[in-house]
Structure 1
Amino acid sequence: MTLTDNAARTDARAETPGPAPAPAKAPRPKPVPERAVLGRFPRAVRILGYAFALAIGLLYVLPFVLQIANSFKTDADASANPLALWPTTPSTAAYQRLFGIADAGESVPFLRWLTNSFVVTTLVTAGRVLFDSMAGYALARLRFRGRGMLNVFVLAVMAVPGIVLLIPKFLVLNSFYMFDSYSGMVIPLLVDAAGIFIMKQFFEQLPREVEEAARIDGAGTFRTFWSVVLPMARPALITLTILSFQGSWNEFTHFLVATQSEQYETLTTGLARFVAGGLGGGNQYPLKLAAAALATIPVAILFFVFQRHFVRGANAGSVKE
């Protein structure tokens, strides 16, 4: 090989174009800080906005503060100063009577109400999460005759006021010998049209590629739903759990037409009879407000613990493009 050939090869290599450089990625726009957005308004406008928001917040909180304050008052103090934010003579007699510690006056079956509410709410919440998710997945993914009509029926049920169904509900429970029983309290509430709609809308947003990959691996419809799709629906399931727990815990009209005996009273029906004056004379404001305050605690705890899990996008990153 001569010196001339080596020079020619060197020149050819130099003339050969190399790989094109990768295009530079466009910089992502930086999120505008909240303070920068608020800073566009004059300071006086911002102060008025904060003051208005604070006033609205205090307006909503005031009834709960008065409720708790009056629950620690005596009957005479609550009747004389119902709007006082601090009791003249603080007393826990109302709470002691609710839990059976004090024997003054007629006994209040608060623990029985609480137990019935917990039992019924737990069963109804578990049933709604299971059946609503199954029905929502069937309407979102399965193809069968009458599917469109079922979607219309679900929306139609959501549009019907619950008060209209009270008499038909009583007649059905009485015909099936479920009136005044736990089965009559639980079974009609196990499925909810709103829950089916929520789960259906969420399942329709999930990528189909994940389900197709599961079917290629040999998974059936139920296995795909239970092992693949349901874990991806965690935000919707948590939302459905909170709504189901709150709805069944605060349910009143259904229990009113489904039960008659005092042994099946829940917190809502028991408190309604209590407020109507079924437990002795006098206004008994502290006792009634203490029972109402205790009834709101479970729902408040559940909401504040899981509020950040309310429905949001959960399919980000599930399928790589």
Structure 2
Amino acid sequence: MSLTALRGSRDTPDARGTRGTRRWTSIGDGPTPTAGRVLAYAVLIGLSIVVLAPVVWAVLSSFKSQSELAQVPPSPLPSSLRTENYTGALSSFDFALYLKNSVIVTVGATLLTVVINTMCAYGLAKYNFRGRNLLFLVVLGTIMIPLQLIFIPVYQMAAQLGLVNSLWGLIIPPAATPTGVFLLRQYMLTIPDELIAAARIDGAGEFRIFTRIVVPLSGAAIAVVTIFSVMWRWNDFLWPLIISQDQSKYTLPVALAQFNSQLVAPFNYILAMSVVSMLPVVIIFLVLQRHIVRGIASTGLK
């Protein structure tokens, strides 16, 4: 093929963009990105680095020795991967017990939160009764109340019910969350009322409609509430500290705080256990991230 033919083939309309601009010569065949899009990507990448930098620093520092952590200026990379930090921390305090308590509290509270919030949101979204909007505003209003203001009355009620210094005291009181009710209620508003009416005409009961129609269609919103509940319960510190009076009922955040209050704080062990405590939340988020994005994007459409 001659040089003229090659030039002609490169200048054909197929080799150009829709507006006469050349397309990417890399893997993709999309149009050349604008300067605004490039700037937006650069800003997003920079913000991602800012958010991930402390996490990466904590993971790398968990392999450092005490002397390396005390260096000024600090070195970004450890001299060697010291797995002794993890094994030493596991042997220094009863990590298995605290991990078991955290898992029991997180799983139990999350299941209870999802059940209560889903049923409450269904009633506020699909039942017409007098005062429904006022009740929903009251539920939203509780979001603005700081948790520190209600700790004393909640603790008194838990003491009267015999929930102090027990895992049930960590699970039941914070189960109902107004944020979860709001997210689920807004998502359930997008479910057609005609679908529920048709199920009632076919003879389906209310509980069957709720479990066979509403809950499956609200899977994305339930995934959002689930990951939020897991994060809240797993990282909760103040309420477990108040309600737990025995070390055998401590969760991981409380145990790590106690471990940090020693006369000589072993920061290398603390960092190692902090990294271990982050893993379950990260794994759950990675598994449910697609549902989380879809659920948040669909919330509030109606």
Band the TM-score falls in, shorter-chain normalisation? 0.7 to 0.9
More displaced 10-residue stretch of structure 1: 220-229 or 290-299: 220-229
Contact 1:65 1:85 in 2 (8 A): no
Instruction: Name the counterpart of 1:166.
Output: 151
The residue correspondences of 1:232-271 to structure 2 (distance < 5 A) are 232-271=217-256
More displaced 10-residue stretch of structure 1: 90-99 or 294-303: 90-99
Distance 1:250-1:146 versus aligned 2 partners, 3 A rule: same
CA distance in 2: counterparts of 1:148 and 1:207, whole angstroms: 19
Contact 1:173 1:179 in 2 (8 A): yes
Instruction: Name the counterpart of 2:34.
Output: 40
Instruction: Name the counterpart of 1:75.
Output: 66
After superposition, give the CA deviation of every residue in 1:235-280 in whole Å (9 maximum; x if it has no partner): 1111111111111111112112211110010011111112222xxx
Distance 1:219-1:266 versus aligned 2 partners, 3 A rule: same
* Amino acid aligned to 1:259: S
The residue correspondences of 1:29-178 to structure 2 (distance < 5 A) are 36=31, 39-41=33-35, 50-80=41-71, 83-100=74-91, 107-178=92-163
Distance 1:121-1:181 versus aligned 2 partners, 3 A rule: same
Instruction: Name the counterpart of 2:11.
Output: none
Distance 1:301-1:39 versus aligned 2 partners, 3 A rule: same
After superposition, give the CA deviation of every residue in 1:15-62 in whole Å (9 maximum; x if it has no partner): xxxxxxxxxxxxxxxxxx9954x7332xxx666555444333222222
Deviation at 1:146, TM superposition (A): 3.6
After superposition, give the CA deviation of every residue in 1:132-173 in whole Å (9 maximum; x if it has no partner): 101100111112344233212201111111121122222222
CA distance in 1: counterparts of 2:141 and 2:298, whole angstroms: 27
Contact 1:66 1:83 in 2 (8 A): no
CA distance in 1: counterparts of 2:72 and 2:275, whole angstroms: 19
Q: SS of 2:172's equivalent?
A: helix
Q: 1:309 aligns with which of 285, 291, 295?
A: 291
For normalisation by structure 2, the TM-score amounts to: 0.82
Alignment gaps of 5+ in structure 2: 1-27
Q: 1:223 aligns with which of 196, 204, 208?
A: 208
Instruction: Name the counterpart of 1:191.
Output: 176
CA distance in 2: counterparts of 1:140 and 1:193, whole angstroms: 14
Q: SS of 1:282's equivalent?
A: coil
* Amino acid aligned to 2:64: K
Q: SS of 2:173's equivalent?
A: helix
After superposition, give the CA deviation of every residue in 1:49-100 in whole Å (9 maximum; x if it has no partner): 5544433322222211221122111222222257322212431111002333
Contact 1:75 1:283 in 2 (8 A): no
Identity %: 30
* Amino acid aligned to 1:241: T
CA distance in 2: counterparts of 1:52 and 1:142, whole angstroms: 45
* Amino acid aligned to 1:39: P
CA distance in 2: counterparts of 1:165 and 1:34, whole angstroms: 58
Distance 1:212-1:52 versus aligned 2 partners, 3 A rule: closer
Q: SS of 1:205's equivalent?
A: coil
Deviation at 1:129, TM superposition (A): 1.0
Contact 2:58 2:275 in 1 (8 A): yes
Deviation at 1:122, TM superposition (A): 0.4
Contact 1:125 1:245 in 2 (8 A): yes
After superposition, give the CA deviation of every residue in 1:90-128 in whole Å (9 maximum; x if it has no partner): 31111002333xxxxxx2121111110000000011111
Instruction: Name the counterpart of 1:319.
Output: none
Distance 1:50-1:216 versus aligned 2 partners, 3 A rule: closer
Distance 1:80-1:212 versus aligned 2 partners, 3 A rule: same
Aligned residues: 269
CA distance in 1: counterparts of 2:29 and 2:37, whole angstroms: 13
